[in-house]
Amino acid sequence: LLSCYSGFNLERVNGTIDVMETLAGVFNQSVQGAVGVSLASVLSLYVMWRGFLRPHLEAKIPVDGVPTPPRCHWFAGHLHVYRHPFRVAMENFLRYRDKNGRFGMWLGPYLRALVLTKPNDVKLVLHAEHQHRLIPIFKKHLIRVFGRKNIVVIGGRSWKHARSTIMKSFTPSTLVYSKDTMLHVAETMVDSLKNRLEKDSTMIFDVAELMKMITLDVFGLAAFSYQFQSCDNLRMSAVAEA
């Protein structure tokens, strides 16, 4: 009885081992097959990406009928060019504008941009369109810096009216009207410098700081009829600095 019982157990053990070996072989074959299929899929996707999808993304046209500068990145668009100084980047872009001074570009993977370089075209668009949309994450950052009522952030008709109000300050007639204010501030600066040098002829002045004083005094008088008196005192006004 003991030997029969032991043999019966040995047979069961041997059968279990055979089943486990079979399952292990099937599992190894399945893993090898899955790895092979995965590698083949990755290789196929890479070939498709390099051969078709990436060239398509880099060659797509943002605005039909308008030239587009080359070297468009598949994800960043033309933004990668701004790694260079802004002036250099724009000079490179302007070489590809059409006879009407227009060219298109990509600002990232999906945002199209039409660049206009002629003032009449810009004026026509700004007078005809009052929509002003920003990328949400960019708008959130600007709101934290400038507030919700800044002209950079607001949109719709409010943006159009605010823009029109500000642009009136830069018309030739307004600049001519402000000429007397500019001359007055400049003469005040000259008189203050003369008086200071008469007291101490060895004094050294920072030209950049002097230009800031003139600019702020002109702006205060022309825009707000307020005298910062930076040019009178040859010291930046605390109000202007604030």
Q: What is the pLDDT of residues 187-231, one digit of tens each?
A: 999 999 999 888 888 888 888 889 989 988 888 888 778 888 888
Give the other-Cβ count within 10 Å of 21's Cβ: 10
Specify the DSSP element, H or E, that contains 105.
strand 102-106
Instruction: Indicate if the pLDDT at residue 6 is higher than 60.
Output: no
More confident residue, 23 or 136: 136
The CA distance from 182 to 108, in Å, is 43
Give the other-Cβ count within 10 Å of 106's Cβ: 24
The CA distance from 220 to 213, in Å, is 10
State mean pLDDT over 126-140. 76
Q: Where are the alpha helices (DSSP H) in 147-228?
A: 156-167, 172-177, 179-199, 207-219
pTM of the model: 0.48
pLDDT number for residue 91: 82
pLDDT number for residue 15: 52
- Would you state the structure tokens that stand for residue 44, as one six-digit string? 């196929």
pLDDT number for residue 163: 78
The owner of tokens 């019966």 is: 8
- Is-contact 41 69, C-beta < 8 A? no
Distance, C-alpha 138 to centroid of its chain: 8
Q: What is the pLDDT of residues 16-68, one digit of tens each?
A: 555 556 656 655 666 666 666 777 777 777 777 677 667 766 778 888 889 98
The C-alpha angle with vertex 168 and arms to 163 and 173, in degrees rounded to 5, equals 160
Instruction: Indicate if the pLDDT at residue 4 is higher than 50.
Output: no
The CA distance from 78 to 106, in Å, is 6
Instruction: Indicate if the pLDDT at residue 152 is higher than 60.
Output: yes
Q: What is the pLDDT of residues 95-123, one digit of tens each?
A: 889 999 999 988 877 788 888 988 888 88
